[in-house]
Amino acid sequence: MYRNPFHLGWNKGWSFILFLEGGIAKIEAKGFGISITTNVKKGESPSESADRLVFKEQRIRKSRYYSWIKKINENYKI
């Protein structure tokens, strides 16, 4: 399969593939052991779509991390 990755300097560790599926432009992000896909919205550039996709995933990861830290801290309180 032809690879079409592009890397954005603001976010190391992610690679992106832009492709068509059923006539709809989609972007797939791979990095840190996960793969997520979204549609490219009308009027949005591929880099804006990639930014939106990765930003959402990072918010979810950060939220999970802080809830885990909070739970760990609660368990060690005397």
| Domain residue spans of the chain | 5-76
Q: What pLDDT, on a 0 to 100 scale, did the predictor assign at position 31?
A: 83
Positive or negative torsion for Cα 17, 46, 22, 55: positive
Q: Please give the structure tokens belonging to residue 70.
A: 């909070």
Residue type, 4: N
Show pLDDT as tens, one digit a residue, over the chain (78 residues): 455 555 555 567 788 889 999 999 999 988 888 899 999 999 998 888 888 888 888 888 888 888 988 888 887 765
d(CA 22, CA 38): 13
Q: What pLDDT, on a 0 to 100 scale, did the predictor assign at position 72?
A: 85
Q: What pLDDT, on a 0 to 100 scale, did the predictor assign at position 48?
A: 87
Q: What pLDDT, on a 0 to 100 scale, did the predictor assign at position 4?
A: 53
